[in-house]
Structure 1
């Protein structure tokens, strides 16, 4: 197994905003308010063509299984489709839903047992980009000023973020990410997500677009 590499260098570039492109901004706003993440993302109207897997997921990390269930329940009640019901695994407990606008969300905790009732708090949001070549994409982002926090060979890479970043950025093999989410890896058209950062504007090797942070 490849050894993880780490660095303590402070990040010079990070995500300042995450914008989801949706067909109906009012409906999407209602959903994300009910889901509890409306303050963490932006919405933008778009009719850009997109089919199948859009190549990314937003993952909520929370403190306990009851909180996972709470977020999953809120999403389903607001109209989300359950792709993977919450289950225990070697790494913890979690499930996957797809929002009405098509965005896939994963909610998980490393805890396998509850230590109290559900609390509607998010410890961390991670944006996982599904890429064809993790090593190449990692080097691309390093060249854009991001700092690698940890890396597992050609399978996964995670970048450092600062206290002002709404999400943490990570890279995952596209097919591996799709399998983890329970969807086919095939997809074409727009990713329907735009990232804001101090290093923008640019488009990465897998077509994910960045804008200059406002």
Structure 2
């Protein structure tokens, strides 16, 4: 079975980006790589921090804003829980959310799951592509959403329709150029039908 291990964000200024992600609290979960490849608009993906309670959402979002992020969707309660969306100075979009609506302890800044949502044109076709490349489906909701199996404390990869993902992030779906993200995994390198690149990770 092929699984994802981590993500590499392509940024114009690696020192500034690493400083931001360290302050945000995810510096040990993502890597950065220098790149000046052009990109405009929505890059077709979002990164999500899944945490256990609302005060942890607030702690991560507050840290991101203090470090220079901008708000795309303010933190608020909804029928599914509590969360918000911010955009890092390098352009990456981050959602921080919890299914809980009540705090049961201190804001530990502990991450339960890091999820990379890929916005794809055809969820069914992309699902089959990934299955053919050795990934195992853990959740599937027809042509709307697919999630792949991930080892504990690794990267969870999921597929969502591009327009639906852009709406969830609070941005327009249009965008061209580089995805500005590399996924590392334990299988052979490949590029998927929507242009997302996978590299072989280091053990």
Quickly name the TM-score band, shorter chain normalised: over 0.9
Cα distance per residue 1:147-189 (max 9 Å; x no partner): 0001000000000011362x10000000000000100000000
Shift of 1:17: 2.3
Cα distance between partner residues in 1 of 2:78 and 2:151: 30
Q: Contact 1:28–1:101 at 8 Å: present in 2 too?
A: yes
| Aligned-pair CA distance for 1:119 | 1.4
TM-score normalised by length of structure 1: 0.93
Match of 2:168 in 1: 180
For 1:205, what is the secondary structure of its paired residue? coil
Q: Which residue of 1 aligns with 2:116?
A: 127
User: Do 2:4 and 2:156's aligned partners in 1 also have CA atoms closer than 8 Å?
Assistant: yes
1:94 aligned onto 2:50: no
Counterpart in the other structure of 2:150: 161
Instruction: Work out the CA distance in 1 between the residues paired with 2:10 and 2:62.
Output: 24
Aligned to 2:183: 195
The TM-score with structure 2 as length reference comes to: 0.97
Moved over 2 A (4+): none
Contact 1:200 1:213 (8 Å CA) reproduced = no
Give the Cα separation in 2 of the matches to 1:126 and 1:173. 15
The Cα RMSD (Å) is 0.9
Equivalences, count:
202
Deviations 1:123-166 (A, max 9, x none): 1110000000000000000000000001000000000011362x
What is the CA distance between 1:79 and its match in structure 2?
0.1
